[in-house]
Structures are given as structure tokens and as C-alpha cells.
Structure 1
Amino acid sequence: MLSLLGFLTICVFLGLILTKRLSVLLSLILVPVVFGLIAGFGPKEIGEMVLGGIRQVAPTGILLIFAVLYFSMMIDTGLFDPVISGIIRFAQGDPLKITLCTAVLTMLVHLDGDGTATFMITVTALFPVYKKLGMNKLILPCIVALSAGVMHLVPWSGTVARALNVMKTDPAHLIIPILPAMIGGVLWVLFVAFFLGKKERKRLGVVHLDYDHRQQLSDEQKESRRPALFWLNAVLTIVLIAALMLSLAPPSALFIVGFAVAILINYPSQTDQRKRIQAHAANVFSVSIIVFAAGVFSGILTGTKMIDAMALSIVTMIPNEHAAYLPALVGVTSMPLSLVFTPDAYYFGVVPVLKTAATHYGLNPIEIGRAAILGQMTTGFPLSPLTASTFVLVGLSEVELGDHQKFTFKWAFGTTILMTIIAIASGAISI
């Protein structure tokens, strides 16, 4: 019964947001509350689940607030202006070059494994170019999502960190065997960028792009630029990213301190500090509030044990004679399940069950972890309504979540399918 209610909760939630009958914010809150009541839990119990879920996502919410503030401020200072100018000069109004540059830039930026920061930097840098050329506005978030998704396999990303924790292993055993698959995923993303760019080139042609983003700046934006502090800001950002990669402190703490130092250096006046914070307050609020709503969703599904029931249902659907295909099945389904399970729910709820099942069937349990990270909250995270950074991506790209999912899903799923095939061929996953 709980399993059925869990799947119904997910289906109703996805149906409401894909058909735009209810906003994502309200869907994340109201749908699980209704099904929690149907499952027989009282208001007090559901309230405790809500608070529990919010406590779980609080560090992420704090991280998101200060990460958005930090990178928004760095954009204000002009830190990324040289990158934007270089891309524009190289592309020369050619949509094909622009889409390829989008993929490469996103992969480089996402080496830090932080989706929010990646989307802040790449979309903000490239959105004006796409808009100026009249390119399909869904292509930018699509290519950024695909590029960040495949690079999310770096060992220090939150997703892989969860997998390492659950599998009780190290990156050498989990990541190195799937490197060929990851390389294949990178090449696939470049192919998709080429394909979409070529279509846009055919539709729009190669146009003369008389565009200097610095000339498009408002007086306030020009006033906020700090060219004299470029190298200091660059070093500060590199140090911050290095600290994230080395896990010198919790990410939220690093961004809190990094933001405080950066705003003091660039805008020592308290008046200027208030202006910079107020300039981005709406964006910070609209994104961070979704995080806490997602906490309500995951808190209720976890607290009611619906997630546990769904995980057991998935395992019981696999007949013994087909058990050898379990790792491959995990790989194929990993990306779509990003739309259903939060990373914590999947890696701490579903994967342990699948790992136990693999051991029971005489399979190498680490293959479950390898298969899972080929899609679950890697290629799938930039499409998941349960991932806060997804809303940064669609918000900055000025597209609706449902439209983004419809346009990007097939390409993201294709990435996972290709990587799964390569993982099987290379022996990282057996069948």
C-alpha cells in the first residue's frame, strides 16, 4: 500500500508540473501532504516529517543562498567578462561554434562539481549571445545540463560522494573502471551540441554579431565593475573552488566566508554592500525557497516509509533468472529515476537495497554503485525537480521546467544509455 501511494505521489507531482496545472513550489508541498494524510498519518506526524526534511536540506539551502550571492557578485565585478568576450570573438555569430563553446565551457567550469555555480557562470555568460542571435532558448539549458551532467561524475561531486559512502569504497574502485564510459559521455555531449548547433546554423545562418556585452551593461552594472580587482577576485575564486574540491570545510561554510571576504574587498561601503545584496535578493529567494519545499517533499516520503516501500517493490520485480541483468537495469533506469528520487533517497534508500540484492544473487555489489552514478543525479540532476540547482538553470535561462525537461530528456537519457553500453563493453558492469 505504501509503495503504491509513493508511486502515486511521484506521478501526481510530475503530472501537475509537466502540465503546468500547479507550480513546482506548491506541488512539492501539497502533493506529499495530501498523500501522507491518505496513508493514515496525522497532522502532527506529518508536521514532524516536514521539519525533519527541512533540517536535512538546510545546509543545501544555505549553500545555495551564499553560492548564488557569491557568483552573482563576481559577475557584477566583471570576473567572467574576458571569458564571455573570448567566446564571442571565437564564435563570430556562428550558432554551431556557440553551442560547441557552450559545452566545452560548461565542462571546464563544472570541474568543481557544483551545479549551482556552473549554471550561474555559464548561463549568465552565454544567455545574451543566444538571445542576440535569436537561437532556440531551450538549447542553452539543454547543452549546459548535458555537459554538467556528464562532468558530475567527478569524485568530489555530492552524488559520487554519496555513492562512495554507501558502497564503502574509494574512487579508484568506483570511478576508474567507468572512465571509458565517461569519455564516451563527453563525446556524446559534444555530438549533441554539434547537432543542435548545426540545425540552428541552418535555420539562422552565420550572422555578423556586432555585440559587445560590455556595451550592453546598464549604468548600475558598469558602476559595479571592479576591473582593478580582477586578479584578486580570480585568485579568491580559484582558492574557494580548490577548498571545495579538497573538502577543507563544509561547502556552505566556505561560501559564507568566501562571500563575506569578497564583498568586503570589492564593496567596502555598507551602502554598496546593501545594493549588491538587494540586487540579487529576488533571485536568491526564488531559488532557495524551492530547496526547503523539496525538503518537505523528501521529508514526508522518507518519514512515511514510502521510499523504503518503493525500493523493495523495485527489487521484488526482478525474477531470479534475470538477476544477472540487475547492474545493467540500474544503469538504464538511473537517469529517469532522478525525476523520482532525491539523491539522498536513492543512494541511502534504494542503493543499499539493490546492493544487498546483488550480493544475494552472487553479483559484485560495487557494480550497482557504478551503474547508479551513470545517471542517477549525474546526467539526471539538471532535469530533476528535486534538485535546487535545476531551478537556477531554468530560471536564468528564462524557460519553464516542463519545457526544459521535454526538450532535454531524450538527450540526457541517451547519454546514460551510451555510457551504460560502454561500461558493459569495458567490463565495469557485467551482464
Structure 2
Amino acid sequence: MRTPVVDIWGPISPEPRSAAPSAPEPHDEWPLTGGTAWVYYSPLNRRQLIRPVILSDGFSNGTSELDTLWHGLEENGDYRFISELHATGRDVIILGYNDRTAPIKDNADTAIDCIRRALSERVGRSKLVVGGFSMGGLITRYALAKMERDPSLPDHETAVHLSYDSPHQGAWLPVSLQAFVHFAADNFSEDPVVGDSLRLFSGLLNSPAAKQMARWYIAKADDTPAAAAERVAFLKELEELGSWPRNLRKIGVANGMDTGNGNGIQPDATAVRGNGLTLNDTWLKTQAQGDPVVARLQKKGGEPFLVDTSGLPEIDGAPGGVFTLPLPDGSDPGSFGLAGLLMLGLRNIVDKDRIPTSCFIPSISAVAAGDIDDQQALYKPITPDASELDAFLCASRNEPHTTMTEELGSWLVNEIASTD
């Protein structure tokens, strides 16, 4: 098993895909402190930056890749988002980062640098549209709020902030999966087949950005799930900035439903089980309420370790954007499927026909309409008055996180066009 290139939280295709071919050459490229911006002018604007839309990358490993971002926005879904923005006379600026695992406020400074550059390059006085996908929506939210509060920074001159399946109220990664990754990394990190992958995923889980995004985090298998200290500090800093930028319109979409209908995953169900040369009856379960045991972890010849939780909601099956993990071969094993791949790589037999994935960004998180630790709120229909956004749209089905669809993409384009 080779180390995957993990583009988990940028725009993706609803179908398995191979590695993205090269994106068109950008009309301009801006080196930024901490990142890069790639500029694609609308054909209507004759190579001038007149009506800028800044679209931020989100969380993943390593450096942002233009090819992957372009094709997620333009080629891999069922809606050509960049082309449709161009058709309305909007210029598209794709914002990437040198380190997508860095603290949110660090990459927010890069976003501020991009906004300042866009304002200096802009011809005319049209206001900007600024936003992003997944964590990119949080990065730009923080950046714009900071620009409003920090007197040393210029007016952001932004009319709209957009977010696409962003974890405004936090993201969910099953505690059982976190525990297994840490357990496996502690015991098998030097394995010749999956050692690199284990170190990669353990490092991602423990990165600053992941800690700030995850509603529940554990640093090791026997930790009690809770918000990481980094998340608590980030939320405090965001609150001190007013929580949201004020002088603009806030819009967002969710890859999950607003009807309260879940994705069909049942609580307290065995999602994956492995047994063989290196593991003994090791299994992960979906999250249930109460005080359930969510994982049994045992190295061959070692003592079994049980992972329990207390007071968490049945969030694996909640309505929302579903966890995705596109790999270089075009496959997408999902969250629990990742554990299955690692178990296989560690030379074990893995039960088939189990549960491959789980909810990642609950709908109420993506549209800022409630706390995701509230069982009732997770499965309650979302009404417009419940959201902190000025306008939002939820998908008509629970679909893979950040999937670009005509339903969501066309709504955003129309909302942006209505601000003219």
C-alpha cells in the first residue's frame, strides 16, 4: 500500500477519479506570504481584474495543488463552477497554501494578503466575493472578520462571503477511527507496507488545523474525546473578532440535507473488523448515545484495549456531507474504509460488506444552524431563522463532502450575481 496523496477537503468529484490532468495555465500567478493565488480572468474582462471572486482551498496534507483544485471546481463534478462564474463576468482567483495543516489564523493571514493584492490589481470599484471550500470557508471567515477589527488593515471591500460545506460548528471524525489510527501508528509505524500511511494520517489528525476543526479530538487511543485546546483558543479568538465579518452578505451551502433525514448509517453497528497476522479481533463501531464501547483494539500477542465514549450523539448517520478520501488510483474508501485498508495492509483479513464511511460535516455545521453535539438538533429540519448565515441551501441528498453539483453551484452563482 503506497502512501496516498490525500486531497480530502477540497472540491471533489462525486465519482471515483484518477489523478487530475494539468489545469489551464493561469492568466496570472501571485506569490503570497504562505501561499499562492492563481488568477483566471473572465473572457468578458479582457485580461483585467474587474469583478474578483476568491476561492480558498481547505485542509489537507502538504501544499495546495492547482491541478486538483481546478478540476474539482471545473471538471470533476456535474457543474462547471469557474466557467459559470466567468459567464457572469466574474474573475476567479484560486487561493492555495504552502501548508494546509497550519493553524487557521496563519492561513487567514495568507488570505488577507490575497485580498489586498486583489484590491490593488482591481480595475474599477466592484466589490469582492471571498470564500472557500470546507476549512477554506473558515479561513476566509476569520480573515474578513480580522480585517474589520484590525485598524492596521484596509477595508476588505467585500460584498459576499461564501462557504461550501464548511465546518462552522466543527467537523466529525469517528472517535473509533481516531483511536485506531493512533493505536496502529504506535504499534506499526515502521511497517514496510503501511508505515508511511500511518505516520501521514496520525500526523494529519494531530496537526494544528485538524485540532481546530474537529469538534471531538483525541491525541492517543485512551484519551477522553473533547475539543482540543487549539480549538478552544481558536473559537475564543474568532469570538473576539465578532465571530463573523459584519459588513457583507454571508451565504453557504451544505452537501447534506436540511430535512433531518440521516444517511442511513445505524448507531452502535460494527463498521469494520480485522483479524489475522498482526491484529486479533480488532473492530470499530459507529457512534451511539450513552456510554458505548466504540472500538476494540488488539495487537497479536498483546492485551485488548477498549475505547469508550460518553455523551456523544449518533453523528455517523447524521445528515451532512459524507467523509471522502480520494486516493491516487481513483478509489474512495471513506472513513471506516480507511481503517479497513490499513488493516489489510497490516496483513489481516477484513470483514466485507461493512460500513465504509460516515458523516463528516453535519448540515447544521455547514450552515451554522446549531451545535453538533445536540442529538435533536442534528436530526431536526433546518429552518432559515436557525442559521447564522443570511442565505443558505442544503443538498437534496446526503452526498460526499465538497462535491461540486449543479444544485449547489448554480445557487451560489445566482446568489453572487444578485449582488451586482
Q: Which TM bucket (shorter chain)?
A: under 0.3
With the length of structure 1 as denominator, give the TM-score of the two structures.
0.24
Q: In proportion to residue count, which structure has more strand?
A: 2
Q: In proportion to residue count, which structure has more helix?
A: 1
Larger Rg: 1
